[in-house]
Amino acid sequence: MGRRGPRPTKAAAISRAALSLLAERGVRGATMRAIARRAHTTEGNLYRYYPNKRELVGHVLGGCLREFGEHIAHALEGVTEPGERLSLFVRTYLAYAERLPLEGRAMFEAEENGGSATPVGNGNGDAAKPLPRRVLVHVLEDGMVRGEFPQADAARLASFIIGGLAEAAEGIAPENGDSLHEAAGAPACEVHGEAVEELVHAVRRLVGSTTVQV
């Protein structure tokens, strides 16, 4: 028989601890020792559930990426105009950072590393999941085919855009889950809306420019 998975309560504690540390310190900084300490268990016990850090981090970040990818793919359903699809991608991507700060920061960490910092597939069809980068590449390629966007390397352009969104999200996402708007001293819709729309326009100008080298 195969190895049984962790008990739900312990698995949840480990995943949450890993998620918070990945958001705070990134993939390299989230050591197994630190994760075990935050999960209130021993490092040796942690290895009973996950044989190595790669598998643990892949489980946590892969879950964030797949869940968000499915969410944004659903949000794009029925929207056919390439420019609007691109705008919707940016808005949804940034909204995720505010609604789920830990998941957002961890996901951005994974995307900034090009998805190479940890595996997101487990051999059970995950490669076909609509991960955020794949969704954006599809949006860009569709716009190029339709003549709405200049021809470019869609994969490299998507990486460039997501890297910029990841950096920008740090200035938009609330600290420690607190209200972004209270910290800014302005109404929620005003602060968040203006910041996001500025980024939407910046991305659309980038994609529409034939002078941008990626």
CA 181 from chain center: how many Å?
22
pLDDT in tens, 63-102: 888 888 788 888 898 999 999 999 999 988 888 877 787 8
Number of domains in the chain: 1
Neighbouring CB atoms inside 10 A of 1's CB total: 3
pLDDT in tens, 113-148: 544 444 444 444 444 456 788 889 999 999 999 999
pLDDT in tens, 174-184: 444 433 333 33
Residue 159's domain spans which residues?
Answer: 60-208
CATH number of the structural domain spanning residue 86: 1.10.357
Contact assessment for residue 127 and residue 121, using Cβ atoms and an 8 Å cutoff: yes
Domain membership flag for residue 156: yes
Domain membership flag for residue 38: no
Domain membership flag for residue 195: yes
Domain membership flag for residue 149: yes
User: Global pTM?
Assistant: 0.71
pLDDT in tens, 28-41: 888 999 999 999 99
Tokens of residue 176, six digits: 């420690």
> First vs last Cα of the chain: how many Å apart?
50
Neighbouring CB atoms inside 10 A of 38's CB total: 18
